[in-house]
């Protein structure tokens, strides 16, 4: 019965709509290719890793790359589990802190009037244009001045201020009716109570998008481990993975280990996006509606 309903919907589509659906499907399949290659590359034996031209689909899948990754991690002074713990711990704290601070910043920009409001929001938008490399020196100066080198704060603090999250939350809060806030104030709610009881619960759809963006930034962050950490036990998994093939006598050794590690780094981002994709699409749709 459902199949006949879907077929009836397709029959009602115009040729231009069918063409658009076909093009979008082909585009989606094309964008899926890097993910398929990443999964296949991690299971390739050594003789397939260096084939020319390279093979897209693995012919003889094997777990040897993951076994070698475990062997390498056991032979290091600092175990790989320590790097993994640092990455998980800092990423979770970054997501919570960055999301809360972004909502806290977006709410007054959206629903309050004060001098310099437009200038402040314009400054936040302009900061989106700066590449991360342009702020490495200022970040290093701030972290050194605060004296938080070799601490978890050095991992979290640079990732807390994400302009894209402030923009998304402000655009979403703009959709909320002012009458709702006024009624809460008439009931005696303070601004902080109104923020926690009204604004934050209504922003839950945007929180999913903020969680994905902030988690990706924190999980893949290599800068803090390279610049702010001298203690090896305070560094994160991306730094450890970057050392797997560096300093070797040739560029062939440990390429299978690097392929397996790349898949392990990608999986958390992929799983979180699959779990929250519906809310992300809803957020992107509503953020542009006025």
Q: Looking at the domain assignment, is residue 9 inside a domain?
A: yes
Predicted local confidence at residue 92, as pLDDT: 92
Within this chain, do residues 6 and 112 fall inside the same structural domain, yes or no?
no
Q: Residue 273's domain spans which residues? A: 68-287
Judge contact between 154 and 224, C-beta under 8 A: yes
Tokens of 227: 């610049």
Domain of 168: which CATH number? 1.10.3720.10
Give the pLDDT confidence of 40-86 residue by residue, as tens digits.
Answer: 888 888 878 877 777 788 888 888 888 888 887 777 778 888 888 99
- As for how many domains the chain has, the answer is 2
> How does residue 97 score in pLDDT terms, banded at 50, 70 and 90?
very high
Highest mean pLDDT of the ranges 19-28, 71-80, 180-189, 201-210: 19-28
Judged against a pLDDT cut of 80, whether residue 199 lies above it is answered with yes
Q: What is the CA radius of gyration of the chain?
A: 24
Q: Looking at the domain assignment, is residue 62 inside a domain?
A: no
Q: Residue 7 belongs to what H/E stretch?
A: helix 2-11
Residues 99-121 as b/e (b if ≥16 CB within 10 A, e otherwise) read beebbebbbbbbbeeeeeeeeeb
Within this chain, do residues 135 and 13 fall inside the same structural domain, yes or no?
no
Predicted local confidence at residue 279, as pLDDT: 67
Q: What's the CA gap between 219 and 86, in Å, rounded?
A: 10
Predicted local confidence at residue 289, as pLDDT: 43
Judged against a pLDDT cut of 80, whether residue 171 lies above it is answered with yes
Predicted local confidence at residue 89, as pLDDT: 93
Within this chain, do residues 110 and 230 fall inside the same structural domain, yes or no?
yes
HEC string of 37-102 equals HHHHHHCCCHHHHCCCCCCCCCCCCCCHHHHHHHHHHHCCCCCHHHHHHHHHHHHHHHHHHHHHHH
Q: Looking at the domain assignment, is residue 44 inside a domain?
A: no
Q: What's the CA gap between 236 and 92, in Å, rounded?
A: 13
Q: Looking at the domain assignment, is residue 42 inside a domain?
A: no
Which residue's entry shows tokens 């519906």? 278
Within this chain, do residues 20 and 153 fall inside the same structural domain, yes or no?
no
Within this chain, do residues 248 and 122 fall inside the same structural domain, yes or no?
yes
Judge contact between 243 and 226, C-beta under 8 A: no
CA 72 to each of CA 39, 220, 267: distance values in angstroms, whole numbers, following the listed order: 21, 21, 20
Question: What's the rounded mean pLDDT across residues 118-127?
Answer: 86
C-alpha angle with apex 125: 121 to 131, nearest 5 degrees?
145
Q: Looking at the domain assignment, is residue 79 inside a domain?
A: yes
Judged against a pLDDT cut of 80, whether residue 219 lies above it is answered with yes
Q: What's the CA gap between 181 and 185, in Å, rounded?
A: 6
Within this chain, do residues 126 and 270 fall inside the same structural domain, yes or no?
yes
Q: Looking at the domain assignment, is residue 45 inside a domain?
A: no
Judge contact between 224 and 158, C-beta under 8 A: yes
Within this chain, do residues 240 and 155 fall inside the same structural domain, yes or no?
yes
> How does residue 173 score in pLDDT terms, banded at 50, 70 and 90?
confident
Judge contact between 283 and 89, C-beta under 8 A: no
Predicted local confidence at residue 252, as pLDDT: 62
Within this chain, do residues 179 and 273 fall inside the same structural domain, yes or no?
yes
Predicted local confidence at residue 124, as pLDDT: 85
Give the pLDDT confidence of 230-279 residue by residue, as tens digits.
Answer: 888 899 988 888 887 665 544 566 778 888 888 888 888 888 888 877 76
Within this chain, do residues 81 and 131 fall inside the same structural domain, yes or no?
yes
């Amino acid at each position: 019965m459902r199949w006949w309903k879907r077929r009836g919907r397709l029959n009602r589509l115009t040729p231009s709509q069918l063409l658009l659906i076909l093009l979008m499907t082909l585009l989606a399949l094309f964008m899926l290719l890097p993910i398929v290659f990443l999964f296949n590359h991690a299971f390739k034996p050594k003789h397939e890793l260096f084939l020319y031209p390279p093979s897209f689909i693995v012919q003889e899948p094997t777990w040897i790359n993951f076994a070698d990754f475990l062997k390498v991690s056991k032979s290091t002074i600092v175990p790989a589990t320590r790097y993994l713990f640092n990455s998980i711990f800092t990423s979770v704290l970054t997501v919570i802190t960055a999301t809360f601070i972004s909502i806290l910043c977006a709410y007054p920009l959206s629903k309050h009037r004060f001098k310099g409001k437009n200038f402040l929001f314009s400054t936040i938008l302009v900061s989106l244009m700066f590449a991360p490399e342009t702020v490495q020196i200022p970040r290093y100066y701030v972290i050194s001045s605060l004296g938080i080198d070799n601490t978890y704060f050095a991992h979290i603090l640079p990732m807390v201020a994400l302009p894209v999250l402030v923009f998304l939350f402000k655009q979403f809060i703009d959709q909320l009716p002012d009458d709702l806030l006024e009624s809460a104030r008439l009931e005696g709610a303070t601004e902080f109570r109104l923020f926690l009881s009204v604004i934050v619960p209504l922003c839950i759809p945007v929180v999913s998008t903020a969680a994905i963006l902030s988690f990706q930034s924190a999980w893949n962050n290599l800068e803090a481990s390279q610049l702010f950490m001298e203690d090896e036990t305070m560094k994160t998994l991306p730094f450890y993975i970057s050392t797997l093939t560096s300093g070797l006598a040739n560029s062939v050794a440990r390429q299978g280990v690097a392929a397996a590690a790349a898949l392990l780094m990608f999986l958390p981002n992929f799983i979180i996006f699959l779990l929250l994709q519906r809310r992300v699409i809803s957020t992107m749709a509503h953020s542009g509606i006025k």
